[in-house]
Structure 1
Amino acid sequence: MKTNFNFSNLLGTVYCQGNLLFNPDGTHLFSPVGNRVTVFNLVDNKSFTFPFAHRKNIARLGLSPQGNLLLSVDEDGYAILTNVPRRIPIYHFSFKSPITALSFSPCGKYFVVGLQRKIEVWHVPSTPDANADGELEFAPFVRHHTHTQHFDEVSSIEWSSDSRFFVSSSKDLTSRIWSVEPEENFTPTVLAGHKQAVVGTWFSEDQETLYTVSKDGALFEWKYVGRPRNDDEMVDDEDEPTDLRWRIVNRHYFMQNNAHVCCVAFHAPSNLLVAGFSNGIFGLYELPEFNMIHTLSISQNNIDFVTINRTGEWLAFGASRLGQLLVWEWQSESYILKQQGHFDSMNALVYSPDGQRVVTAADDGKIKVWDVESGFCVVTFTEHSSGVTACEFTKKGNVLFTASLDGSVRAWDLVRYRNFRTFTAPTRLSFSCMAVDPSGEVVVAGSLDSFDIHIWSVQTGQLLDRLSGHEGPVSALAFAPDGGILASGSWDRTARLWSVFSRTQTSEPLQLQADVLDVAIRPDSQQLAVSTLDGQLTFWSISDAEQVAGLDGRRDVSGGRSVGGRRTAANTASGKSFGSIKYSTDGSCLLAGGNSKYICLYSVNSMVLLKKFTVSVNLSASGTQEFLSSKLLTEAGPAALVDEDALSDAEGRGLDALPGSKRGDPSARKKLPEIRITSVGFSPAGTSFCAASTEGLLIYSLDNKLQFDPFDLNMEITPASTLAVLQGEKDYLKALVMAFRLNEASLIKAVFQAVPHREIELVVQGVPGVYVSRLLRFVAAQTETSPHIEFCLLWIKAIVDKHGAWLSANRARVDVELRVVSRAVGRMKDDVRKLGSENGYMVDYLLGQGQEKSQKKESAGEQKTLEWGDAGEAEESSGDEEWLGLD
């Protein structure tokens, strides 16, 4: 089995903190998810996560106007410059200070960062498409100049449309206008007048007006005008206005009761202003008249960030408290994207039998079904009233079973998305584990309150039996794939093998040295793996009930110390065990994870560690550091747990304030999530596995990287060179790949039709995997339109024969192409059958016409005989009649 799994995608978490960004064409949304960046394709309904990871949570994102460079900065000011099309980091840099604002200029030459109260202007690294001559001059992160006039933290930075000026907003109640280059008759200007911190400032499209919004809901309109004059003041008409400066000409107020403004975005071309409030309501307004277009409640907590795409059609909202991400189209008043992760930690996960979906269950009582290919949540079930602890599919994959602490086991129909059966015990219990018979007829569940195992019938919903034998809470259950044996693990330091369907229902106890955390049965139903609290993995023969192997995983799983811990990761006693174990599809490997930042992959045959996967390097979470550091310790305790400025700033306090308190809850303390793995699972195809962690649902796969084609680097690929390769060198494979690289339909068709039918199999065999789906789609389209039926069928047969394994492994990726091929072949079959039927009818018609013509000739001959001879003679002499007719 291959073990080169790499991080592929992150599901279950859509937004944590920071700002959201649309790409230039407005079809992709960039969202910071912890220390990673996820991109949501709003048109194709897909998402992917960049492979790089920061050492802290991301604070700000910036995207160049061309959409090819992404600058992400974490809480400590460490930045990563990423090539978006290639998804690879280009450069690492440190601003040496926490960043509060980031914005690229519209011209793409500069970007401005707010480093607390300091502002710095930097040059954007040049790219070939940015220079007129096409030369690459890569000089990353060259500082242009610095401004330090603000007295408090800079909250936002916005540019003018001509990239000559930018305006900064700060918590010091002011906004300031700056110029990138020295301008004639221009000095940096201060806009003062707000009573609370300024949230944002924007230029109008003609740059004649400025709009500022403060946290208390005040909107000021500024214009560059002279001082208003009194009525009794005598002024000469010929004199020009004097004392010109930016002045407030209008004041507007949002009036949202006691809610304050959390975030604001302005779209200058359409004069649309969007404001998000602390009560979860957002308002859409038209300026300069300040007409309210729409208000909508989208969350129960603060709306942390809002942005508008370039066309002004879609609004993106992020709420970090509940992990919500919304994209709303305001003209049609409909959601383009509406995603939310689990509010609490995930407890269990399971792959569907076809490998296309992953189901997660969490402490918030919700069950979410995630599409692996798109990365989106398909459906959420909320019927459970307490935390969901286990989930399991039936063999066919159309029914899902879940167990919960509310004392119920529920069966879900994944075709109609409804709960069609609920199983309960005679006494109220909190079920902690569950297993389903492979036939789908029996479901069993164990509890931490009772030492019995409950068995229900899926058809009737009745409790069939209770298995007694354990002397402690039941912690794990698993059915053998052949359905003959049920394995259970308990805190009484035993694992038992039950013959559920036999008359005696005997059980075989297996004695262990510590409490059992999880059990797993190999796919061939011959081996049982047990994980215990002392970090040991023991392997038992199911047929003989004897231990066949064992290994010590304490050293492998240990890693990462908690923030408040007083020992290093190697010496700490907590987290040195595996809470979840799963066999691979072929049974050759065992995947194990626990309260650690590592996932271990073991070989079952040799009992050695094959690979360790690091779940997270995010130092913003507890459990990722390896050693103690005196720099992070203070007199009050670890620096990460000390609230520095929370007493002076109400934003830093807890959101659940005490009654009557205006500065937040004084008892609230800063808490860090602890990195841990609650569940792991292999995909049925064996090409990927997923892990439910504190940061979300992590997916590791074998084919996660973008497939690289050396033709991408060749600037000499042109239609003329492609035809030269096709006609001169007769290198059909190279010509086909060059045509796909140019992506010209006429050229691809010419190369396609020029390939001899004897060379089709060799050409298809050498096609790189990156072009298989495009070739299949093109051949399917040609099959529907081309008259060369057999030629197209030969191509389809060659693709299926030579790349069948790749097509089956990437079924979700090429599902559309396969459906097009199936439709084309079906249509071709119908056309051939129709043509055969028409030809048969035509032959029958022609034969019928010949017989009818001969019959007409015979009847005409008889009529002539009757006219020339006597009727009586004709009746007497039949021989003459026959001779006359033949003549």
Structure 2
Amino acid sequence: MKTDFKFSNLLGTVYGRGNLVFSPDGTCLLSPVGNRVTVFDLVNNKSHTLPFAHRKNIARLALNPRGNLLLSVDEDGRAILTHLPRRIVLYHFSFKEHVSALTFSPSGRHFAVGLGRKIEIWQTPSTPGDGADGELEFAPFVRHHQHVGHYDTVQSIEWSSDSRFFLSAAKDLTARIWSLNPEEGFVPTVLAGHRQAVYAAWFSKDQEKIYSVSKDGALFQWEYIGKPGMEGLEDEESMQWRIVQKHFFLQTNANLTCAAYHADSNLLVAGFSNGTFGLYELPEFSQIHNLSISQNDIDFVSINKSGEWLAFGASRLGQLLVWEWQSESYILKQQGHFDSMNALTYSPDGTRVITTADDGKIKVWDTKSGFCIVTFTEHSSGVTACEFAKRGNVLFTASLDGSVRAWDLIRYRNFRTFTAPTRLSFSSLAVDPSGEVVCAGSLDSFDIHTWSVQTGQLLDQLAGHEGPVSSLAFAPDGSSLLSGSWDHTVRIWSIFARTQTSEPLQLQADVLAIAVRPDSKQLAVATIDGSLSFWGIDSGTQESGLDARRDVSGGRKLSDRRTATSSAGTKSFTSIAFAVDGSCVLASGNSNYICLYDVRHGSLLKKYTVSINLALDATTPFLNSRNLTEAGPRELIDTAGEASDLEDRLDEALPGSKKGRKIDAAKRRTRPETRVPAISFNPTARSFAAASTEGLLIYSLDAQAQTNFDPLDLDIQTTPQGAIKELERKEYLKALLMAFRLNDAGLLRRVYESVPADPRTIALVAGQLPGVYLARMLAFVTKMLDETQHLEFGLWWVRALLEKHGRAVKERKGEFAAEMRGLSRVLKGVGREIGRVAEANTHQIDWLLSLRERQRLLEEEQRTVDGARLLEAGETNGMTVHDDTQDESDDEGSWMGIEDRDIRAGEGDEDEVE
């Protein structure tokens, strides 16, 4: 089994905190999710998470006008410059202060950064192709200028359309006009008049007006007009920026939290702390819409380039909305779990992931698109376990509200509810492979409750454990039920036998999790002492075991008095899962690591770090001594009372609360701890999912196969120019390998289309292709078949690859499963399209064939008529015309020849007439 799993996507969380950014074409939305960035493709209905991660939560994002450079800055001012199309990190940089505003100029040559009261202008790093003669070059960050003048934090920076000037708005109740470079006759201007902090200021499209909006809901319109008493004069000394209009939003008991302005359409969007937003048309300030979309603050709003879509982010509930105001419809409406996740499971086909959380919600996620399909809210308390039936689209969930529910995932409804005679909080769940029996265990009772799915009646209460039941699992063949308990035993129940008996397996510590191998021959057990043991189900004996305390040991919490190596709370697994082939087992717990073990040898194959986000607790094994003060760790000291704003000084957190990933995540008493409570393998064996504090992490073997840069076998000759030279020399294989090593999609397509459309040439190139590039070549040919019109050319490539490398694909079918599934899907689609075209053209082809036959008959009839006319003409002129059409040996005899001779005879040329 391949173990090279890499981070692929982050689901379960759609918005953390920060600003939302639309792509230049307005079709994609970039959202900060903790210390990562997720890109939502609003046209193709897909999402993906960029592979890089910050050390703290992201505070600001900025995208250059070309859409190829993404600048992301975390809470500490550390920035990462990324090439967005290729998803490659180009540069790391630190601004050394908290960044409160960040934006690129419309020209793309500079970007402005708000650092407290300062504003710095930096030159945009050059990208490949920007240099002379298209040379590949890169220049790091170079500061162009620094502006100082504000007396409080800068909240917004907006550029003019010509990139010569920019506006800044700050908490010092003013907005200021600055110039990028020194302008003749221009001095920086202060726009004062607001009574509360100015949130933002914008230029109008013609740059003749300026709009500024403040926290108290006041909108001022500024114009460059003459001073009082000097209106008739037009010299520079008599002109100044003055307020000509004042408007107010008049939201009762609500402050302005965000605003955005679209200059081309004169639209202003304002969001408020009561969860409502208003859409206004300027300069008349006429209200177009007023809609409530949340019960909490709207943190940020953004408008796409065309002005049609509005994106809203609410961090307290983790909501992300994209609204089309003209049709009054949602383009995107997503929300993550409100509390930490408890369990997850894959659907039998591997296309969906179901997650449950302490907020009582059940969410179904599409693994291909990354979006939440449906949310169930019938449970009234935290949902602790979920399990899919092996047959059909039926999902079972167990909850602390004392119920087990069955869900129909075709009609999306709850069709059965199972309850116990007494009120219990169920914590574990198991479903018979046939889907007819469901069992649940509780930490409040030592019995296992069994229900019939068909009738909903309680069948039995299995007694035998002397402690709370922590984990349940059915053998995949349905022969037995296995249960793990805190009484140091695992019991094997034969619930379908005539006499229900149980066989106990004695362990040395409390059982936390169990998992059964897919062939129902082996059982994996995780205990609280950090050991992982493997038992034979038929024999009832322990076959192997390993001590995993050192592997799973997590980081140190801020409040820990002990070091990470001495802490016992993170040294055990709480969730384990077998791989599809049973050769490996995946384990996770209340730590920052996921461990992959080889079952046969008992060795650690790979160790995955879940998060490097320092905003979470217990992500590092050591504490930073610089953050230790005489009063204790700096981050545990409550400094909220020193904030300047009233809402920042108010502390609404519950004392001692540790649950809740979204609410007040920055407050010290609700700082979330990194943990992985559930983990599961995809039935396709190409990926696995982990429910973590940050969200639902997807690790895949196919992660970013077309976007990661692979420096293998690179040398000084491996360049795009070298590949093009090889093409000119008709060395197609060398050019193809260079394109693969450079991982340049455009160059790869150019080489692919340059190969002659000759089956023999294609077979020769495909036969010499090294095996390490076979999977990528199959994926690329599949993509070309799906996107281009060169159908026959692509089919020649598919035939050549399968003929030359078919044996390798068959022997290593697990490695090529994803590529072959994609190829099969595309070929089936091509077949269906050809079938539809052929069926639609059947009548046209029949008509064309009949038209040809009709044309032939018409020609014969015309020849007969012409021959008769010529005979009549010959008799009239007194000449004898031989009928040469009856002489088969005369190839020249035809009506056309007679007609030619007759024409020449008619012209009076007697020498040519016999």
Which residue number in structure 1 is paired with residue 911 of structure 2? Answer: none
Name the CA shift for 1:605/1:592 in 2 (closer, same or farther; >3 Å).
same
Task: Supply the distance in 2 between the matched residues of 1:220 and 1:236 (Cα, whole angstroms).
Answer: 21
CA contact (8 A) 1:779 1:795 kept: no
Which residue number in structure 2 is paired with residue 477 of structure 1? Answer: 472
Name the CA shift for 1:712/1:752 in 2 (closer, same or farther; >3 Å).
farther
Which residue number in structure 2 is paired with residue 417 of structure 1? Answer: 412
Which residue number in structure 2 is paired with residue 406 of structure 1? Answer: 401
Equivalent of 2:646 in 632, 650, 665: 650
Q: Aligned pair 1:821/2:830, yes or no?
A: yes
Q: Aligned pair 1:579/2:588, yes or no?
A: no
Name the CA shift for 1:626/1:730 in 2 (closer, same or farther; >3 Å).
closer
**1:548 partner letter:** E
Task: Supply the distance in 2 between the matched residues of 1:620 and 1:239 (Cα, whole angstroms).
Answer: 56
Task: Supply the distance in 2 between the matched residues of 1:286 and 1:836 (Cα, whole angstroms).
Answer: 58
Which residue number in structure 2 is paired with residue 507 of structure 1? Answer: 502
Task: Supply the distance in 2 between the matched residues of 1:307 and 1:470 (Cα, whole angstroms).
Answer: 57
CA contact (8 A) 2:732 2:755 kept: no
Equivalent of 2:720 in 701, 714, 720: 714
Task: Supply the distance in 2 between the matched residues of 1:777 and 1:705 (Cα, whole angstroms).
Answer: 15
Task: Supply the distance in 2 between the matched residues of 1:183 and 1:552 (Cα, whole angstroms).
Answer: 71
Equivalent residues in 2 for 1:238-257, closer than 5 Å: 243-257=238-252
DSSP 3-state at the match of 1:619: coil
Task: Supply the distance in 1 between the matched residues of 2:555 and 2:845 (Cα, whole angstroms).
Answer: 72
Name the CA shift for 1:501/1:653 in 2 (closer, same or farther; >3 Å).
farther
CA contact (8 A) 1:348 1:389 kept: yes
Report the alpha carbon displacement of residue 651 of structure 1 after superposing the two structures with TM: 3.5
Q: Aligned pair 1:11/2:11, yes or no?
A: yes
CA contact (8 A) 1:732 1:763 kept: no
Report the alpha carbon displacement of residue 628 of structure 1 after superposing the two structures with TM: 3.1
Which residue number in structure 1 is paired with residue 451 of structure 2? Answer: 456
Report the alpha carbon displacement of residue 827 of structure 1 after superposing the two structures with TM: 5.2
Name the CA shift for 1:250/1:490 in 2 (closer, same or farther; >3 Å).
same
DSSP 3-state at the match of 1:539: strand
Q: Structure 1, residues 470-521: CA drift from partner, whole Å, max 9, x if none?
A: 1111110001111111110112221111111111111011222222111111
Name the CA shift for 1:7/1:542 in 2 (closer, same or farther; >3 Å).
same
State the number of aligned residues.
824
**2:781 partner letter:** L
Deviates more, 1:749-758 or 1:93-102: 749-758
Q: Structure 1, residues 617-670: CA drift from partner, whole Å, max 9, x if none?
A: 111111112223332123443222333244532242457499xxxxx99xx864
Task: Supply the distance in 1 between the matched residues of 2:514 and 2:331 (Cα, whole angstroms).
Answer: 42
Equivalent residues in 2 for 1:857-872, closer than 5 Å: none
Equivalent of 1:340 in 329, 332, 335: 335
Which residue number in structure 2 is paired with residue 73 of structure 1? Answer: 73
Task: Supply the distance in 2 between the matched residues of 1:523 and 1:272 (Cα, whole angstroms).
Answer: 59
DSSP 3-state at the match of 2:829: helix
- Percent identity, please: 62
Q: Aligned pair 1:32/2:32, yes or no?
A: yes
Equivalent residues in 2 for 1:276-287, closer than 5 Å: 276-287=271-282
Which residue number in structure 2 is paired with residue 362 of structure 1? Answer: 357
Equivalent residues in 2 for 1:224-623, closer than 5 Å: 224-229=224-229, 243-623=238-618
In the alignment, structure 2 segments of 5+ residues that lack a partner are: 655-662, 851-914
Which residue number in structure 2 is paired with residue 157 of structure 1? Answer: 157
Q: Aligned pair 1:197/2:197, yes or no?
A: yes
CA contact (8 A) 2:472 2:514 kept: yes
Which residue number in structure 1 is paired with residue 167 of structure 2? Answer: 167
Task: Supply the distance in 2 between the matched residues of 1:465 and 1:567 (Cα, whole angstroms).
Answer: 46
Q: Aligned pair 1:47/2:42, yes or no?
A: no
In the alignment, structure 1 segments of 5+ residues that lack a partner are: 230-234, 659-663, 842-887
Task: Supply the distance in 1 between the matched residues of 2:237 and 2:783 (Cα, whole angstroms).
Answer: 69
Name the CA shift for 1:438/1:771 in 2 (closer, same or farther; >3 Å).
same
Which residue number in structure 1 is paired with residue 184 of structure 2? Answer: 184
Task: Supply the distance in 2 between the matched residues of 1:116 and 1:512 (Cα, whole angstroms).
Answer: 59
Task: Supply the distance in 2 between the matched residues of 1:153 and 1:177 (Cα, whole angstroms).
Answer: 16
Name the CA shift for 1:741/1:186 in 2 (closer, same or farther; >3 Å).
closer
Name the CA shift for 1:752/1:367 in 2 (closer, same or farther; >3 Å).
farther
Task: Supply the distance in 1 between the matched residues of 2:103 and 2:423 (Cα, whole angstroms).
Answer: 57
CA contact (8 A) 1:760 1:794 kept: no
CA contact (8 A) 1:120 1:146 kept: yes
Report the alpha carbon displacement of residue 833 of structure 1 after superposing the two structures with TM: 11
Report the alpha carbon displacement of residue 762 of structure 1 after superposing the two structures with TM: 3.6
DSSP 3-state at the match of 1:495: strand
Q: Aligned pair 1:772/2:778, yes or no?
A: yes
Which residue number in structure 2 is paired with residue 860 of structure 1? Answer: none
Task: Supply the distance in 2 between the matched residues of 1:480 and 1:644 (Cα, whole angstroms).
Answer: 54
Q: Structure 1, residues 313-348: CA drift from partner, whole Å, max 9, x if none?
A: 111111100001111111111111111110001000
Name the CA shift for 1:434/1:317 in 2 (closer, same or farther; >3 Å).
same
Which residue number in structure 1 is paired with residue 676 of structure 2? Answer: 677
**1:193 partner letter:** G
**Root-mean-square deviation (Å):** 3.5
Task: Supply the distance in 1 between the matched residues of 2:321 and 2:413 (Cα, whole angstroms).
Answer: 25
**1:174 partner letter:** T
DSSP 3-state at the match of 1:100: strand
Task: Supply the distance in 1 between the matched residues of 2:345 and 2:370 (Cα, whole angstroms).
Answer: 15
**1:820 partner letter:** G
State TM-score, norm by structure 1: 0.86
Report the alpha carbon displacement of residue 733 of structure 1 after superposing the two structures with TM: 7.4
Name the CA shift for 1:604/1:307 in 2 (closer, same or farther; >3 Å).
same
Q: Structure 1, residues 775-828: CA drift from partner, whole Å, max 9, x if none?
A: 346557999987x99979957976995868466425786686244134146559
Which residue number in structure 2 is paired with residue 858 of structure 1? Answer: none
State TM-score, norm by structure 2: 0.83
Task: Supply the distance in 2 between the matched residues of 1:70 and 1:789 (Cα, whole angstroms).
Answer: 35
Task: Supply the distance in 1 between the matched residues of 2:669 and 2:648 (Cα, whole angstroms).
Answer: 9
Deviates more, 1:127-136 or 1:40-49: 127-136
Name the CA shift for 1:397/1:347 in 2 (closer, same or farther; >3 Å).
farther
